[in-house]
Structure 1
């Protein structure tokens, strides 16, 4: 007789998340107001809003780069508030892959070395690091470009290298901040198609964007306005 099926926790669950900068001063800014968000594993979610809406603050909290003033955040079943700074850094390395608009690749390193870099922090042996990096590059369609430096790659190829690097630890959450912002529209479409393939492979993609056309590729879109988060009308 088989045992009960264990329910996997959501990879992101927030309740009443709030963040205030310069509280109690004339410069006080309420960046987030009571944000409730639940994202299941294998989802592709967009968080959309103009500059100053609070979406970057929310991304920093979801990425464990900052801590909320109020509310709770459970990251893949872990209450982030119970962790000290060192434990938060370890959680970030294990649970979250980051993709940025500017690629953030090291110019003197090959694509393979850039992708392998996070495994150095995890003390993975060199041979295994390089093999896993080669596998990650193959997963984003760049298996023949491992020895090229960033300057020898197109913008779209550089972003694929950055995505492979974000995936190297097999994190449950991929946080992508304006990942197509520096790309032409056709290349941007290719990167968004890659995110859909990653979702189909059980990765969870959280896309931060100001662009409604980019957000439309996600399965579900939330809209941020004045620090409040609401589902976009018409999305499930």
Structure 2
């Protein structure tokens, strides 16, 4: 099975060769299979956000390689990279990033406009995505009329609208209360069971414990946390190699 995420010797240095040089990532080797639920955990400054940006094709490494769903991203030009991000990766952020003047339906449908999907089809697909996250009855509501948990569900529906194989979530429960956060994590587990690969970036061990496997970031390096986060049904397929 081809890994959905595969890095080898991945490194990132900011301002190399200057007094401000910062080594953010060092020789990161990760392989994540389709359908895995993985948490990348670490405190601020550990390198987890840098790794998220590289895995999400929002930044480029200074060393090593990254294959996204079997594609070497270093071979892509900017336009091809944008298409890969659109088709392969759904992003979910702590701050929801919803447009306040748009309804939930319009927010979810927005990425399909960039993909030049006809308006009628956009509406149908957006309704299906909202129904999938339990918000079919809230499609006409604007973000200010929704709770934090509902806004995050809208953001997840938007991330899923292009049916990407990878769902990349950066502190997705950080702005939510504990009960609502648990509901969102249960939704991620369901999406995993439906075949999505879910990668959560978090500093919270309780959030990370929902994942099949946990990788801890320390000083730009990745270490597996043995015996933590493995599901009762067995060990997940993500591995360090």
TM-score, length basis structure 2: 0.94
Aligned partner of 2:148 in structure 1 is: 155
Q: Which of 53, 57, 65 is the equivalent residue of 1:64? A: 57
TM-score, length basis structure 1: 0.96
Aligned partner of 1:34 in structure 2 is: 27
Cα RMSD over matched residues? 0.6
Q: Distance in 2 between matches of 1:87 and 1:62?
A: 16
Count of matched residue pairs: 229
Shift of 1:111: 0.1
Q: Which of 186, 196, 203 is the equivalent residue of 1:203? A: 196
Shift of 1:84: 1.1
Aligned partner of 1:231 in structure 2 is: 224
Aligned partner of 2:165 in structure 1 is: 172
Residues 123-167 of structure 1: CA deviation (Å, up to 9, x unaligned): 000000000000000000001100000000000000000000000
Question: SS in structure 2 opposite 1:71?
Answer: strand
Matched, 1:105 2:98: yes
Aligned partner of 2:36 in structure 1 is: 43
Large movers: runs of 4+ above 6 Å = none
Question: SS in structure 2 opposite 1:218?
Answer: coil
Shift of 1:234: 1.5
Residues 56-77 of structure 1: CA deviation (Å, up to 9, x unaligned): 0000000000010111100001
Shift of 1:94: 0.5
Specify every segment of 5 or more residues in structure 1 that has no aligned partner in the other structure, as ranges: 1-6
Q: Distance in 2 between matches of 1:93 and 1:139?
A: 20
Shift of 1:175: 0.3
Residues 98-139 of structure 1: CA deviation (Å, up to 9, x unaligned): 000000000000000000000000000000000000000000
Aligned partner of 2:72 in structure 1 is: 79
Matched, 1:137 2:130: yes
